[in-house]
Chains A and B, each alone.
Chain A
Amino acid sequence: MHPGAWLVWVGAAGLVGVTTTNPFYLLPLFAAAYLVHSRHRRDDRHARAFKIFVLFGLLTIVTRTSLVLFDVVTRESTAHAFLEGLRLAVLLSVFGTFNSVSDPFRVLRLAPRRFHEPALAAALALSIAPRTIDAVTQVREAQKLRGMDTRRWRSWPALAVPVLETGMEEADVLAASMDARGHGRGRRTRYRPDRWTWQAGVTASASASAAVLFVGSALAGEGGLIVSTFPLRWPEATTVLVAGAFSFAVPVLLPLGRESS
């Protein structure tokens, strides 16, 4: 699918996540993110990146909730912290899905020419995470086969040193390779721009409508977007907004284009 459609999808889903702490909206949004990831992820290597984002999300919930311990622990404050954590976790999952379904270097091509440099830097920065995960896995395996007990914390230099040193060397190689291949000469052309398909249109308009719905409700103060924790009340939800959160799963229903990657 056109990277622009994914950009609209992630932007809209992020906006929805920001407007609400209501689990009846956040959980459908997470479900949609998971389904989209399952169907549209580029390959198994990216599946791993999504899992890590979700793990980070769970960690966020735990950390955010336990921060309450530094304050007066009440039912209200715990619920408040939990919901804040949940919102962050769902936002992370949404971003994880975006990472697994879209190629950052294809997204980068959408940037206007004068922003090519910063956009490329951003895309390269995004690719550091999967590269590092690959490197850690590789080093861990290799050291295990040399007799290291990789579960022991004391052995961390045996993992960190090769990962960091190889990473630094690779960064040098990459910089040299980019220059040797003409990066930074100024004028550039664009190879095979992605085509805007009807699937992209449906995805973008469904996502944008959902975002408008949520932002509208937020401005009007309707729909129980923010759960009241002082006093603590059971969250209420409207069917329209639940459906709106679910609508981020629309790409799952669309047939995959021939070049869906």
Chain B
Amino acid sequence: MKAAITFREVSFAYPDAEIDALREVTLDVPEGAFVLVTGATGAGKSTFLRTMNGLVPHFSGGRFRGRVEVEGRDTVSSAPRELADVIAYVPQDPAAAFVVDRVEDELAYAMENLAVEPAVMRRRVEESLDLLGIESLRASSVRSLSGGERQRVAIAAALTPGPRILVLDEPTSQLDPQGAEDVLAALQRMVHDLGMTVVVAEHRLERVAGFADLAVGCAAGRFEIGAPASVIPRYASGPPVARLARLAGWEEPLPLTVREARRRAPRLASPAHTDIPVTGRVLLGAASLDAGYGTRTVLRGIDIDVRAGEVIALMGRNGSGKSTLLRCLVGLHEPSAGTVRIDDRPPIPGRDVGLCPQEPDSILFKDTVRDEVAATIGWSATPDDPTSILQLLGIEDLAAHHPRDLSAGERLLVATAATVATGAAVLLLDEPTRGLDTSSKTKLSNFLRARAASGGGTVFATHDVELAAEVATRVVMLAGGEVIADGEPSLVLGDSAVFAPQMTRVFGPGWLTADQVADALPAEVP
């Protein structure tokens, strides 16, 4: 097969970096393939992607050796703009990459630069709007969009110039499960129908693994490409079906999708269900809550109690009101009706209730991780010691690092630690697993479980069904600003076609995590 991108002994180090981010990478990305790039946070995935269109080294500086060719063009002698007609790149945070203001103009921006004929531009903009389901946003300002909408707009804008290769860095991190499925299916259609080459870096393997024709695994700057079933299990512990196969000792190749796992899975009866009694003291309560912006109503008649020892997963599609509910609970948004109460009074933001923001960079300002946590302790006048809080998150070894030098996942853990340090009885987290690799995610899960055991209350808004299955004691599902389901994860998630975790899909309702299933599997299973 012809190669779309070739890497020949490519080594690269960022300016002032002691170790190489890429080490003698030699591989071919074949034309017309859907390629998944996997590996731990900080292993070099983003650098690898940015090498493909020449942003590395043109915009990074640093030491670059070896040769990368895109459709036969060398990325060192051609600037990224000269490759813009063959390769498009969607960065991790699309908001900062938007150039103009209107969605429609943003979709046309690259085509204008490539001098595409006006009639062709018009047609491609319309097609792209439809493909990504964002026709209703065409006249909106890109700054007014939600995270999920921004991701769709960024992908649509990358598609309009008709590139042969599309490179995306975590394109579904802010999309709900159905939205992610739709976007990935649209990309797969470009691969099948038009022979486009799609390269995607993604941590949520349960979403992407089924679409990939090939996988690139990376660890410590070394890269290899191969069949997903052989590469993915060696570089990541997920998806849950693969984890189960490993725990249960199934033979290689490990399953990567629900379908593959189902073929080999024994039948299991639903686990015996015992109602977990609701016992904890109510820490924070919202009653008949209505809220909105201007004339737009976002939440209607919400009743929710957060009790000691609870970890509540707040789920629902993009725009269902999760973020607004968090803002009401923390006392940042004034509800138009109803009350939010903590011990019969409104909560004081940052004292009774802490919220860790979606963008960790918006709170990190100190030179070391330790000082960052100490700053919160200083403001809140809690008697805690920074080290003990870092230990809760499992990041005590990062104490002396500069927060800006850490990976996105690590920064999120630091921001969480800085919020936990308020000593607030109720902790809220907005989409805490964005950009988190498996090991960081495990740290977060352990922390949430320990927090529940010590009687803290936690609410986290998430699109990550596997995280909800793993740590939530309760799932609250929102739709159109109303609570449509509220109960134990096995009941709420087990009953949903879209939000069911992989284990539920394979073994039926009641089964949530790979560890739970592995414990129940009879020993003689192949």
Contacts and interface: CB of A to CB of B under 8 A. Distances in A.
Given A177-B97, A189-B118, A190-B118, A146 B418 contact: yes
Interface in B120-143: 121-122, 125, 139-141, 143
A144 B113 contact: no
A175 B110 contact: no
Contacts of B89: 180
B462 interface: no
Interface string A116-132: 00000000100100110
B457 to A, nearest CB: 16
A191 B118 contact: yes
A151 interface: no
A214 B457 CA distance: 67
A164 B73 CA distance: 37
Contact of B111 (A43, A148, A191): A191
A127 B59 CA distance: 23
Nearest to B120: A189
Contact of A181 (B99, B118, B380): B99
Contact of A165 (B58, B81, B101, B361): B361
B73 to A, nearest CB: 14
A166 B422 contact: no
Contact of B117 (A135, A172, A189): A189
A7 B198 CA distance: 43
- What is the interface residue range for chain B against chain A? 35 or more
A155 B365 CA distance: 11
Nearest to A148: B379
Nearest to A120: B99
B279 interface: no
Please report whether the interface of chain A is mostly helix, strand, loop or mixed according to DSSP: helix
Interface string A184-221: 11011111100000000000000000000000000000
A213 to B, nearest CB: 34
A254 interface: no
Among A138, A142, A184, max chain B CB count under 10 A is at A142
B52 to A, nearest CB: 10
B350 interface: yes
A179 B105 contact: no
A18 B117 CA distance: 43
Contacts, number: 185
A259 B161 CA distance: 25
Interface string A73-114: 000000000000000000000000000000111100000000
Contact of B93 (A43, A144, A173): A173
B363 A139 contact: yes
B365 A191 contact: no
A184 B58 CA distance: 15
B100 A147 contact: no
A103 B125 contact: no
B362 A181 contact: no
B143 to A, nearest CB: 6
B312 interface: no
B15 interface: no
A187 B41 CA distance: 40
A145 interface: yes
A45 to B, nearest CB: 6
B76 interface: no
B55 interface: yes
B111 A189 contact: yes
Interface string B11-30: 00000000000000000000
B81 A145 contact: no
Interface string A141-184: 11111111100000101101110011001101111111111111
Interface string B345-361: 00001110111010101
Given A170-B96, A173-B93, A192-B118, A179 B79 contact: yes
Nearest to A123: B100
B99 A147 contact: no
B522 to A, nearest CB: 49
Given A144-B349, A146-B350, A182 B118 contact: no
Nearest to A135: B362
B105 A147 contact: no
A173 B330 contact: no
A179 B53 CA distance: 10
A71 interface: no
Nearest to A192: B122
A261 interface: yes
Interface string B409-427: 0000000001101101000
B82 interface: yes
B139 to A, nearest CB: 5
Contacts of B55: 176, 179-180
B224 interface: no
B376 to A, nearest CB: 5
Contacts of A174: 96-97, 99
B404 to A, nearest CB: 7
A157 B365 CA distance: 7
Contact of A134 (B143, B350, B421): B143
B85 interface: yes
A183 to B, nearest CB: 5
Contacts of B88: 180-181
B84 interface: yes
Given A43-B141, A173-B91, A166 B362 contact: yes
A103 B85 contact: no
A42 interface: yes
Contacts of B190: none
Given A142-B363, A160-B365, A183-B81, 15 more contacts: A44-B294, A130-B143, A135-B362, A142-B362, A146-B363, A146-B422, A147-B376, A155-B379, A158-B365, A158-B375, A170-B96, A174-B97, A177-B97, A189-B117, A190-B112
Give the 8 A-B residue pairs with the shortest CB-CB distance, closest first: A182-B84, A182-B113, A191-B108, A161-B365, A177-B97, A105-B100, A170-B96, A181-B110
21 contacts: A103-B102, A105-B105, A135-B362, A139-B362, A142-B357, A143-B363, A144-B349, A145-B354, A147-B422, A158-B375, A162-B361, A162-B365, A166-B359, A180-B84, A188-B112, A189-B112, A189-B116, A191-B121, A191-B122, A261-B102, A261-B139
Interface of A: 42-45, 103-106, 124, 127, 130-131, 134-135, 138-139, 141-149, 155, 157-158, 160-162, 165-166, 169-170, 172-185, 187-192, 259, 261
